[in-house]
Structure 1
């Protein structure tokens, strides 16, 4: 009897113990939506939408900051065949007199557009004309072009990202495409060496100039869908 009582007690305790809750299966992972295919855009001539375009440049100032300025007046023409992007051509014209500076001291704009720097009176245009487009990815390319600054022409490479586009919209009945681009060059290569720091120092304004561009282009008109025959 003494042997049976502990066994009965254990069975009773087991019967009173809460039953283990079956583990729920983890929820099925939501299906990953496939990336939508790139929008189809027409080939042809595209012009710069100046209200959605910026061109800024940066130079190191004494090694303390990257002084940032912009050109307010520039234009660009792009010819593009989406089926053959490597054959695209680009021409850009910049008015150096449109130099825009953050809170410039009196006379500073005139100094930078004067003989020691841009010399805009003698060289009234800065230009870039593409000579090669190398596609580097699904939406990236390197665009090499003849860059003319201060009367000197040398090759400069822009790293370009295609941000997307469409064939048109009822509120915007033309094709539209957008790009971001970056590049750099040495201003001394173009005859503007004033203020370049002595070797081993940062006392001055850097020789290297970094350029950052954001653009949208407007292209061929939206083609209306064909009317179904009655």
Structure 2
């Protein structure tokens, strides 16, 4: 695998729980929401030798959180990415990313983002703070989040659903992922963008 082959990043955080206030609150009370893995997208991009960003994603993710729409309190939550599911549409590069130079998936199969705090910044925006665990190390991460929609789903499951977008920028070197930094073959900064739907658990009390 060439050194110039690029990397991914994160988690996800994933998540990435864009839990902002809701104008019309339905059944206001703390409720459990599960991330719909069929409607979850996370795109990462990182510069390749300064020429152009390489983009990729993680294809397997699961998560849930407890959120009170009336008080705008995010009580808890976690997002877990399966590191081996990284995908950049290039088989050799993906094999490199799952190896010891980057994700080391055989030793660290999960990348987790655990929520620690949430603050609203506008009518439909906020900042989620959490702890990102990757490669056996944990560092704080902040996500800028937007609540796009909160309503009963119009088709399929027809359950109350939140539609969320989020983004952040990380430095992979903060997790001691330093392959390709010297010389500058693979960038340090990783831009992350998330979009997902989260379904309210009707059995939550």
Q: Normalising to structure 1: TM-score of the pair?
A: 0.73
TM-superposed deviation, 1:99 = 0.7
Number of aligned pairs?
180
For 2:133, which of 148, 156, 166 is the aligned residue?
148
The equivalent residue for 2:195 is 214
Residues 108 and 220 of structure 1, relative CA distance in 2, 3 Å threshold: closer
**Higher RCO (Cα < 8 Å, 6 or more apart):** 2
Consecutive unaligned residues of structure 2, counting only runs of 5 or more, are 1-21
Q: CA RMSD in A?
A: 1.9
Contact 2:65 2:74 in 1 (8 A): no
Q: For 1:190, which of 175, 179, 187 is the aligned residue?
A: 175
| Distance across 2 between alignment mates of 1:205 and 1:191 | 14
Q: Deviations along 1:69-109, whole A, 9 cap, x unmatched? A: 0000011102110012233432100000001112x15x332
Q: Which of 42, 63, 66 is the matching residue for 1:55?
A: 42
Q: Distance in 1 between matches of 2:132 and 2:59?
A: 18
Which of these two proteins has the greater Rg computed from alpha carbons? 1
Q: Which has the higher helix share?
A: 1
SS in 2 for 1:205: coil
Secondary structure of 2:180's counterpart equals coil
Decide whether the 8 Å contact of 1:197 with 1:206 is kept in 2. no
Quote the residue 1:173 is aligned against: 158
Partner of 2:61: 74
TM-score normalised according to structure 2 size: 0.81
Matches within 5 A, 1:94-109: 94-102=81-89, 104-105=90-91, 107-109=92-94
**C-alpha distance after superposition, 1:162-192 (max 9, x if no partner):** 0011145575331111110001111111011
Q: Distance in 2 between matches of 1:140 and 1:62?
A: 34
